[in-house]
Structure 1
């Protein structure tokens, strides 16, 4: 039941942004390695020039879910670098226990050229007694609106590090 509600919420979030087309309105999926996981599905939609809403499902344990947003802030840096703060809700569902918490952090993204983008962020998550993480993702557009993604995230406090390889469709 929980998985159905999560899937409907993510589909509604993605459908809400179908009219906007940029690097932050997308659906993505692929292979995810953190502990015993196999796959991930992620979506994001820019609702105005500064706000992006996103959701991510990973099959770690029974499942994990992140739902939140990024708010882009102009600190007067170069035009090809965008900085953001992020916050949201995280949930891990395991056979023996569940835990729900909040995450917050900051990061930046930059385009190397018309086809490639780097996204770097750091955050703190309160689930599972709390942990810090730093991640980097590289996205390369093969053809119009269709990209490949690869990423790595380092976690503290005994959390496994994360590796992801997937495909992204931008709308």
Structure 2
């Protein structure tokens, strides 16, 4: 071969990487076999996984856990609150960690307010990803003249009726 001093560095590098340049026996390295743990047989993680595990991993990776936990909470409200309570109260909104539950009567709303700690504990135990920190119980839906959090206090519409 030609003298390495006369060959440009880029061509010399190319030839060395292609194995075209003879190397001395002392500089040869023994190639180590690269073990690909992911594809090696009989290693942990190679067993087939169930469909439920695959879907759980997908929802976790996509960030859907909290939304699905909220929907499960609404669907399983009867199991969380009890059959009789679920007949008279149902969740209507969930925002900022506050679950709003509408009751058939103000008496049911008051009774469930007294049971708030028990219900919140049960929700936190069953659905920790839902992010429910408190519950607000409201009575039956009645028309209101007050709208939003920033409504101006006062007599409202009554003062226009004369």
Band of TM-score, shorter chain: under 0.3
Structure with the largest fraction of strand: 1
- Give the structure with higher Rg (CA): 2
TM-score between the two structures when normalised by the length of structure 2:
0.24
TM-score between the two structures when normalised by the length of structure 1:
0.24
